Amino acid sequence: MQGRAGGTILVVDDEAIVRETCESMLERLGFATVGARDGREALARFEAHRDAIVAVVLDLAMPVMNGEEALRALRAQRPALPVVVTSGFYSAEAVARLRAEPALELVRKPYVVADLEDALARLLTP
């Protein structure tokens, strides 16, 4: 995906350093980014940038609205929206629920740029 004109990715993580690092990684891969601190803010950012957003990188554990709630709300607006879900810990139940979702990749924290690149390649390659 290196050098590809990729569109905009919504990055949702309550930890500023993680969100900013992810945004930097994605920008190196040729994507524009929009950041959000929680699921509620993610919905507002998605609405504001709906036409530009090609995918979402979404933390699972967040205050206000967690990642699974945000995923459901985002998918209510765009059912086939590609989503990379990130977390330092996945319960077996969460993995089973998430694996049933279409157009979704799981990436364990801490991740590196190659992890994001691989997940996005699987999601965005026709």
Residue boundaries of the structural domains of the chain: 8-124
Confidence of residue 126 (pLDDT cuts 50, 70, 90): confident
Q: What is the pLDDT of residues 15-67, one digit of tens each?
A: 999 999 999 999 999 999 999 999 999 999 999 999 999 999 999 989 889 99
Report the CATH number of the 8-124 domain: 3.40.50.2300
Q: Output the CA–CA distances (angstroms, integers) from residue 93 to 60, 73, 89, 97, 98, in the order listed.
A: 13, 20, 12, 6, 9
